[in-house]
Structure 1
Amino acid sequence: MELKNTEKLEHSQVKLTIAVSAEELDKAKDAAYKKSKNQIQVPGFRRGKAPRKVIEKLYGEGVFLEDALNIVYPEVYPKAVEEAGITPVGAATVDVDNMTAEGFDFICTVPVEPEVTMGQYKGVEAEKADATVTEDDIKAELDRLAQRAASTETVERAAALGDTVVIDFEGFVDGEAFEGGKGEDFNLKLGSGTFIPGFEDQLVGKSAGEDCDVNVTFPEEYQAEELAGKPAVFKCTVKSVMETILPEMDDEFAKDVSEFETLEELKKDTESKIAESKKNAADRDFEEKILDKVLEGMEADIPEAMYESQLDNIMQDYGYRVQQQGIKLEDYVKQMGMEMSAFRNIFRDQAERQVKVQLAMKKIAELENIEPSEEDMNAEYDRLAEMYGLEVEKVRQFVPEDSIKSDLTMSKTMEMLKENAVVVAKAAE
């Protein structure tokens, strides 16, 4: 094997011209012959006993060529990559050229990690939301708890927002009933936003025993494409009206909905949880805002292979999660009425951003000489061991040091960016 030429191409690709000698090719052909000779029938020979030259004469000189190329390529390609001093970030595109009696060339177009140039990353301005917990926040959460603990009571009056109505309904588009548009004894809470916009409002004021037509238009983004954007009429019968009875906000309520004995204890716990949630949300949003500014100043000619690889990772993760629900990703996508390519494309922007963030953070860590100490590494292994209830040595077997180092480097780099960012108060919404 000889690396004849290395040429840089656009979009962070490198073309390698790898010369393979006639001797190397002949050796690979011999390996291909030995691998497949038992599957080749030659008149006058027992299966597997025909010499290679006889088979080549009968079926042509190229009978073992394709298999030979597949054998020799993984032998010479890694050596060429190492000699060229490049780090591939995806599979190479491979062509065969200059096939002569002396050998041939592999022409490999290899995607590599791009050169990254950073603009300003220290002192960038970024909005940070106020994480203060208000009385309204606490009240809203207690109200949600009360709604979950509420009971209902049938009433002899017209339905109002907040009531639950029991209805029979059937929907029609252009005078024709459609699949999934019919229901009986359906409990619908008015104001919940469960049905198509405008549906619930038209049941306000209706009483048990009333029939009515509900006129709505399906949203343009409706999941059933054949109904999207179309006007529909639902013929409804109100069978009963039920009023929601909320519990009193007192110590008994606290005991019913939590492990606390008093309402005051429940309020304090609620405040603490909301504070933690708002702080975490504000921190995540702050980090994203910083990254937005950092990426604005980054320059990199990113190869398509990096985006595709990240898309593969996202799809693999998504597939694992839906499989936990007992369904294959392919079937899940079909149920959504989509082609796999269209579903994959939904995550395109996410994949591109993730790749850019990874490249930017890696470059910043390099510029700032950020890397975790041995103490940091040990502490992280200890944390994981405690989290999973395993011995530290077991965790070290399952989680490679490179993975831990990469995660900690990313985390420390993010902390540096946050410490140096200029915080701008987020305007009230």
Structure 2
Amino acid sequence: MSVKSCEKVEKSQVALTIEVGSAEFEAAIEKAYQKMRKKINVPGFRPGKAPRKIIEGMYGAEVFFEEAINIAFPEAYEAAVKEQELQVVGYPSVEMVGEVTKEGFTFKATTPVYPEVTLGEYKGLSAPKDEVKVTASDVDERLKQLSDRNTRLVSVEREAKEGDTAVIDFEGFLNGEPFDGGKGENHSLELGSHSFVPGFEEQVIGMKAGDEKDIDITFPEDYHADLAGKAVVFKVKVHEVKEKEVPVMDDEFAKDVSEFDTLKDLKADLKKKITEERQKEADRAFEDALMEQVAANITADVPDAMIETQARQFLDNFKMQIAQSGIPYDQYMQMTGMDEGKLLEDAKEPATRQVRMDLAVAAIIKAENLDATDEEVEAEFKRLAEQYGMDVEMVKKYLQAEQVKDQLISQKAVAVVVDSATATKPEKKTAKKAAKKAEDEAEAAEGEEKPAKKPAAKKKTTKKAETEEAPAEKDAE
């Protein structure tokens, strides 16, 4: 193999002209013969036993060329990339140059490479940062969540009302015939949860244990195709009506749901935790706003391959989320009418931002000559082990030291930006709402159609690890 030329082209691509010599091509032809000979019929020889020369004599010397090229190409391409010290970020497009003979062949491979990045401003930036405040109503809301989790359902001998849970059997009929997915037994339905077809729960209200009733429902026009807009009848039987038994908010409640002896102490702990959570959220939002600026400030000719790879990663993450919810991905796509091609297209915008973010972080690491010591890596392993209640050696089975080191270095790069930045007061929410309202009215006046909300691809940001403790600040009163 010899590289005849190596030229930079647009979009951070490199065009390599590579020649495969006679010796390399001969070795590839021999491999092609060994692979293909069993599939070639030659009179007088058992399958796979005909000599190469006989086959070439019958079918021509070029009979193995195509397969030999497929065999020779990867090795020649990889050797050329290594020789030219290229950092490729995608698959090459290939075209043959000239004719293929026994003396070899020449091909041109155009491949995307890691772009040259020029950093813009990354120190001394500013971004708005929310001031953390926790009110008594915030604590009460958290207490209500604790109360809801400890609320019991108890049977009652009365008519069902909104907020109750009715245990029901139901079966739906379309034109007198049962339809798929329209039947359930001993189903617990919270009335007012709006988890059933509109109009169903409202008609269960007023029923009591033992009651049976036919409920007339018309499915919404945007329901799935088989039932959209159709009028159906549900036969419903109520087995039991249950109401919520809400615990009393007192010291006994605090003892039951926490390690505290008094409601006052529980409230104080909840306020502290809410403050810490909101401080972390404010810190992350501040980081994100700063790093978005850094990413926007870089100069780089980003190859399409990097964006497409990131978009595909977003889609894979989305598929994983769907799988974790217990719904098969194909079924989810069919139910929602989504198209994978559209999801990938919608993912390109956040993917572009993410790629630029990653490039910016890598450029800061290089500019600041950042690194992480073995001691820092080991300390991070210990911190993670304590956080997850695991043995350090067990954590090391799940995480490679190189991964942890890369994460620490990236965190240091973000810290360079954050530590030199200035936090400003955020715009008042009332002003934001007024501005948004004015913008919406202007768009309506101009007859503009608002872009559809992007589904699927979750935006990934380069920032401190989710487990990283945010810098401590004074608690809000």
Separation of aligned partners in 2, 1:53 and 1:341:
49
**SS state at 2:36 partner:** helix
Structure 1 unaligned blocks of 5 or more: none
1:301 equivalent in structure 2: 301
Supply the distance in 1 between the matched residues of 2:236 and 2:397 (Cα, whole angstroms).
64
Secondary structure at the counterpart of residue 287 of structure 1: helix
The alignment partner of 2:96 has SS state of: strand
Tell me the residue number matched to 2:354.
354
Equivalence for 1:391: 393
Find the counterpart in structure 2 of residue 78 from structure 1: 78
Structure 1 counterpart of 2:246: 246
**Does structure 2 retain, via aligned residues, the 8 Å contact 1:119–1:294?**
yes
Query: Taking every aligned residue pair, what percent have the same amino acid on both sides?
Result: 40
CA distance in 2, matches of 1:232, 1:350: 42
Distance 1:294 1:172 in 2: 59
1:53 to 1:265, Cα distance in 2 relative to 1, 3 A: same
Matches within 5 A, 1:104-115: 104-115=105-116
Q: Which residue of 1 aligns with 2:422?
A: 422
Is the partner of 1:14 in helix, strand or coil? strand
Counterpart residue type for residue 61 of structure 2: E
Q: Which residue of 2 aligns with 1:32?
A: 32
Q: TM-score, normalised by structure 1?
A: 0.80
* Distance in 2, Cα, partners of 1:225 & 1:345: 26
Amino acid at match of 2:19: A
Aligned to 2:131: 130
Would you say the 8 A contact 1:90–1:305 is kept in 2?
A: yes
Measured in 2, the distance between the counterparts of 1:328 and 1:171 equals 25
The Cα shift of 1:271 comes to 2.3
The residue that corresponds to 1:146 in the other structure is 147
Write the letter of the residue equivalent to 1:391.
E
Q: Does 1:120 align with 2:118?
A: no
Query: Is the contact between residue 191 and residue 205 of structure 2 (CA under 8 Å) also seen in structure 1?
Result: no
> Is the deviation greater in 356-365 or in 242-251?
242-251
Query: Contact 1:330/1:340 (CA < 8 Å) preserved in 2?
Result: no
**Matched residue type, 1:354:** Q
After superposition, residues 94-243 of structure 1 pair within 5 angstroms as: 94-101=94-101, 102-151=103-152, 152=154, 154=156, 159=161, 162-164=163-165, 180=181, 187-195=188-196, 218=220, 224=224, 243=243
SS of the aligned residue for 2:79 comes to: helix
| 1:325-404 pair list within 5 angstroms | 329-330=329-330, 333=333, 338-345=338-345, 347-384=347-384, 388-391=390-393, 395=396, 399-401=400-402, 403-404=403-404
> Compared with structure 1, are the counterparts of its residues 58 and 397 closer, same or farther at alpha carbon in structure 2 (3 Å cutoff)?
farther
Which runs of no fewer than 5 residues in structure 2 stay unpaired? 431-477
CA RMSD of aligned residues (A): 4.0
Shift of 1:165: 5.9
User: What CA distance in whole angstroms lies between the structure 1 residues aligned with 2:30 and 2:377?
Assistant: 50
Tell me, what secondary structure is at the counterpart of 1:41? coil
TM-aligned CA distance change 1:162 to 1:330, over 3 Å: closer
Deviation at 1:190, TM superposition (A): 4.9
Which residue does 1:263 correspond to in 2? 263
Aligned to 1:283: 283
**Aligned-partner residue type, residue 379 of structure 2:** A
Which TM-score applies when normalising by structure 2? Answer: 0.73
Aligned CA distance change for structure 1 residues 423 and 149 (closer, same or farther; 3 Å)? same
Q: How far 1:111 moved relative to its partner?
A: 0.8
CA distance in 2, matches of 1:204, 1:327: 28
- For 2:105, the aligned partner's letter is F
Shift of 1:385: 5.9
Count of residue pairs the alignment pairs up: 422
**Counterpart of 1:7?**
7
Using the TM superposition, give the Cα deviation of residue 311 of structure 1 relative to its aligned residue in structure 2, in angstroms.
3.5
Q: Using the alignment, how far apart are the partners of 2:48 and 2:212 within structure 1?
A: 85
Q: CA deviation at 1:262?
A: 2.8
Residues 122-148 of structure 1: CA deviation (Å, up to 9, x unaligned): 233322223322211110011122223
CA gap 1:93/1:253 in 2 versus in 1, 3 angstroms: same
For 1:300 and 1:170, the matched residues in 2 are separated by: 61
> Deviation string for 1:70-116 (max 9, x for gaps)?
22112211221123332100111122221254432111010111222
